[in-house]
Every structure is written in C-alpha cells, then in structure tokens.
Chain A
Amino acid sequence: MSAPSRLRIAVVASDAASRSRLAESIAGSGHEIVDLTAAPDAILTDCAVDSSTPAPVVAIGSVEGEIAGRLPPDATGEQIDAALRAVTAGLTVRGPSPTNRKFGPLAEEVWPVLTPREIEVLAALSDGLSNKAAARRLGISPHTVKFHIESLFKKLGAASRAEAVAKGLRRQIVEI
C-alpha cells in the first residue's frame, strides 16, 4: 500500500503567527490543512495538544506529552513532511537530540590497547577489504592479516569481522 500523496493535516499552534509559520512549512508538500474536528490524518503542532486528539501528532520543538513525532525547532519542510507521513503510517519519529551534547571526559583506556598493525588491519576491515586486499594494501601476507584479525577478535571480544569493525569504531580517537 502506498501512502496517499496528499494528507489531511490539522495545525494546532500557540498563536496566529506560529500557526501561519507551521502552515507555510507544509504548504510546499501539498497537504490539505483541515480543522481538528474534520478527521485529520495527522496533527502538526508547536504547543501542548489534548491527549485525546483523534490523530497522531508531530510536534515541533519541546512539547510535553506522549507524541508520535518530535522534531527540532529548525526542522526543514522536507523533514516535517517525512514525519507527517511516518506518523500516519503508525511509526514513531524522533529528530536528532536538540542539544548537541559534547561535554564529557577524554576517552581513557576503556578498551584493550591495539598494536599499530592491528589498527591498520581494522581500518582495512572497516573499508570492506578482503584479507587478500588488506594484505596488498598493507604490504604483508594474507596469512599475517588473518593472524592480526584473530588477535583483534580476541581483544575486542568480537565473533565476526562486522562486530570487530563495529566495536573498533567505538574506540574513541582523541583530538588534541
């Protein structure tokens, strides 16, 4: 089943200015703006809405309550359109966390320390290279690559190449 290209959206805003701003943000997507009582497919809001609303809600900015779609205040028209379609399809939408939290300690040694060769082999694995291709890139034999991969598996507690790459990527590189 494909989603209808034109949704019926009710706009609930804190004041007239933000109402017209919200309406404008979806104007380009071709949706029909309807009254809250006219069986909308979804509701777009920037303020608290009654929890007994008849349709899933997409909220812009920080809005209290259980809400199907949450977007940051600077969400683009495309993002709002995508969120409205997603909640209409019964999905939950979350934008990236509103504040880019960067504060925290420098990464210390949470992981076993790798050798320079293991780091190079891990980089080759994350580029999707085969053992043979990794060996060519590093100028060592495929047998040696295999040896380093086994050591990586053991150190990172990984059972597959994908797991080793995933765990290896979490190793934090510190910029100083």
Chain B
Amino acid sequence: MPDIVQNPLSGLSDTLVERARQAQPLVARIEVEGRPARSGTFWRKDVVVAAEQAFARVEEAKVMLSDGSSFAAHLAGRDPGTNVVALKLDGTPDPAPFTDADPHPGALALAFGADEAGVSVRLGVIHSIGPAWYSRAGGRIDRRITLDMMMSGREEGGPVLDADGGLLGISALGPRRRVLVIPTATVEGVLEPLLNKGRIERGWLGLALQPVLVPEGMQAEAGQSRGLMIMGVAKDGPAAQAGALAGDILVTLHGEGVSRPAMVAQRLGPEAVGQPIELRLLRAGKVLSLTATVAARPSG
C-alpha cells in the first residue's frame, strides 16, 4: 500500500485549474466606453465572437487578450438570430487551436469569462441536450445545449469547454437567465456571412401567430386538428400583400402542415428570402390559398 493516496477532489481540482489555464488564451475582454467590460471568445486570427444581445447599438470596442495585448475592434457583423456578434481586430496572433467537443448530458462543462485579473470560471454539468432549435429572431441553432450553472451578463459570450478541453461553443443567456451554449458549428456557420455582409438575412412573412385548435367542423377539410391563428399582420409585409388577415388560421405552408411556430421558422431560413411560398388558410369556414413572396426579416 502506498502511504499517500491521491485525494480525488484534489485531482479534480488540479484538472480544473489546468483547464482554466488552457482556456485563458481563448478568452477576450471587450470594453465599450461607458459600459461594463464583457466577455468574448478569441475565435481565430483577427476575429473575436461574443453575445449579440450584450452589444446593442455598439460599433467600436477595445479588445484585450489574455497576453495583455489590446486591440481596437469594430463590430463587423451581428446576428440576433443566433446571438452572435463578430468583432474584427487587426494584427492578432493565431489563437490556440481548439478541438470540437461531443456533448453528453451530465458531462462536466466549464464556462469562462473575462475578469479584471484574467479569467472567471464556472463549473456545471450539461443539463440537457436537444435537437436543433429556432430562436425568436429566427435563427437556427444546431443543438440545444443547456448548462446547469449560473452566469452573469459579463461572462456571456465566453468559451464553454468540456472536460477534455474541447470547445462546446460560446455561452448565451436565455430566458430566466438560463445558460445556453451556441454550438461551435453554429458560430462557424454564421461567421463568414457576418464578416462579409454584416448580417444574416432570414425569411419573414410579417405575421404574429399563436397555436390554435382548428374548429371541429373544419378539421377534416384542413387535414389537421391544430393550426396557427394570425393575431396580427405587419403592414405592407409579405403576408399582408398576399391578402392574409388577422383571424385567419394558417394550416399549411408550402404544402406542409404547420401547427407549431418552429415549423414556420424552419421554412423561413436564409434560402427562402425572395422565394414565393404558398399559405393555406382557414377563413370564415373555408380553405383559402394565398401566395406570398418571402422578404428578409427587418433588423431590430
């Protein structure tokens, strides 16, 4: 028997310290005049990504990297849909390469933020993993990853690593301050268009919708028991121009039944902009078919 048995807690603790040390070069501190400093993730040479909702109406910022170097940065593009903002810097070194992570519920996750003295660290488990989901602003997020931890607004947008040091993505604060992860693949997917065009265009119909039961007498004709009631129509929006009215019940979009808002969001990705789309509606006991031309979602 050895005299000293390694204390497993010390072992865990040492590993966490080591992970924090490895993660530090990925963490960027973003300063905007008159606001508290925010966190970002040093994604690649000359590019830092952060949480879009933390940078409303911001154009210029100062970014500090973990080696103490400081850069002027401008906000090259923002996407409220995925809560990603891309900051362009000039003359940074290459960041340390990171490996992808494969998330599992219950696995440990570490979220990092920028702090006065370096990095701040949060530890928690991956609370749940789900399929792709759609945000209120129409963004498609490749996987739903929620973390069991608390987080302040200053830390949002920093990197989230798994126990092996793989990059799960960047943190985002959702409703009730739930901590979500915007997966690495989602960030990669929006980054080029953000750097080149400044935004991601997504389809928009100009409708306010609420799930509703299709009246019993109409269910056979509609082919489904649920639909989406039109609660409002944006003036001069695509749906308004096609003739949709508040009170209509949307049952199919492009021939496919829609009973949940996500089913509509799914049909309104960037590729839908400018395309015609067929809306089948229930109005005054009759089925009605309209064709709208999908527009780009107005920003803001």
Q: In the bound complex, do residue B36 and residue A176 qualify as a contact, i.e. CB atoms below 8 Å apart?
A: no
Query: In the bound complex, what is the Cα–Cα distance between A105 and B215 (angstroms)?
Result: 28
Q: Inside 8 A of A116's CB, which chain B residues have their CB?
A: 212-213, 215, 229, 247, 249
B210 interface neighbour in A99, A104, A105, A119, Cβ under 8 Å = A119
Query: In the bound complex, what is the Cα–Cα distance between A119 and B229 (angstroms)?
Result: 9
Restricting to B123-157, which residues have a CB under 8 Å from any CB of A? Answer: 133-138, 144, 153
Q: Is A167 an interface residue (CB 8 A)?
A: no
Number of interface residues of A (CB under 8 A): 27
Query: In the bound complex, what is the Cα–Cα distance between A117 and B52 (angstroms)?
Result: 39
A69, chain B: closest CB distance, angstroms? 18
Query: In the bound complex, what is the Cα–Cα distance between A107 and B260 (angstroms)?
Result: 9
Q: In the bound complex, do residue A176 and residue B207 qualify as a contact, i.e. CB atoms below 8 Å apart?
A: yes
B215 interface neighbour in A100, A115, A171, A174, Cβ under 8 Å = A115
- B interface secondary structure, majority: mixed
Q: Inside 8 A of B175's CB, which chain A residues have their CB?
A: 101, 104-105
Q: In the bound complex, do residue A174 and residue B136 qualify as a contact, i.e. CB atoms below 8 Å apart?
A: yes
Q: In the bound complex, do residue A115 and residue B261 qualify as a contact, i.e. CB atoms below 8 Å apart?
A: no
Query: In the bound complex, what is the Cα–Cα distance between A115 and B249 (angstroms)?
Result: 11
Q: In the bound complex, do residue B173 and residue A105 qualify as a contact, i.e. CB atoms below 8 Å apart?
A: no
Q: In the bound complex, do residue B249 and residue A103 qualify as a contact, i.e. CB atoms below 8 Å apart?
A: no
Query: In the bound complex, what is the Cα–Cα distance between A113 and B213 (angstroms)?
Result: 6
Q: Inside 8 A of A98's CB, which chain B residues have their CB?
A: 153
Q: Is A1 an interface residue (CB 8 A)?
A: no
A164, chain B: closest CB distance, angstroms? 16
Q: Is A109 an interface residue (CB 8 A)?
A: yes
Q: Is B72 an interface residue (CB 8 A)?
A: no
Q: Inside 8 A of A171's CB, which chain B residues have their CB?
A: 210
Q: In the bound complex, do residue A175 and residue B135 qualify as a contact, i.e. CB atoms below 8 Å apart?
A: no
Query: In the bound complex, what is the Cα–Cα distance between A128 and B168 (angstroms)?
Result: 49
Q: In the bound complex, do residue B136 and residue A102 qualify as a contact, i.e. CB atoms below 8 Å apart?
A: yes
Q: Which residue of B lies closest to A109 (CB)?
A: B211
A103 interface neighbour in B135, B204, B234, B265, Cβ under 8 Å = B135
B299, chain A: closest CB distance, angstroms? 13
Query: In the bound complex, what is the Cα–Cα distance between A115 and B212 (angstroms)?
Result: 5
Q: Is B163 an interface residue (CB 8 A)?
A: no
A38, chain B: closest CB distance, angstroms? 30
Query: In the bound complex, what is the Cα–Cα distance between A100 and B175 (angstroms)?
Result: 11
B136 interface neighbour in A61, A105, A115, A117, Cβ under 8 Å = A105
Q: Inside 8 A of B215's CB, which chain A residues have their CB?
A: 115-117
Q: In the bound complex, do residue A104 and residue B209 qualify as a contact, i.e. CB atoms below 8 Å apart?
A: no
Q: Is B35 an interface residue (CB 8 A)?
A: yes
Query: In the bound complex, what is the Cα–Cα distance between A103 and B81 (angstroms)?
Result: 8
Query: In the bound complex, what is the Cα–Cα distance between A104 and B136 (angstroms)?
Result: 6
Q: In the bound complex, do residue B268 and residue A176 qualify as a contact, i.e. CB atoms below 8 Å apart?
A: yes
Q: Inside 8 A of B260's CB, which chain A residues have their CB?
A: 108-109
Q: Inside 8 A of A16's CB, which chain B residues have their CB?
A: none
Cβ proximity bits B252-291 to A, threshold 8 Å, 1 near / 0 not: 0000000011101100100000000000000000000000
Q: In the bound complex, do residue B153 and residue A106 qualify as a contact, i.e. CB atoms below 8 Å apart?
A: no
Q: Is B208 an interface residue (CB 8 A)?
A: yes
Considering the complex of A and B, which 9 residue pairs feature the smallest CB-CB distances, nearest first? A174-B261, A103-B83, A104-B175, A62-B36, A104-B174, A115-B213, A106-B261, A173-B208, A106-B134
Given contact pairs A103-B172, A105-B135, A113-B211, a sample of 10 additional A-B residue pairs in the complex whose CB atoms are under 8 Å apart: A62-B36, A99-B53, A101-B173, A101-B175, A103-B53, A105-B136, A108-B261, A174-B264, A176-B205, A176-B208
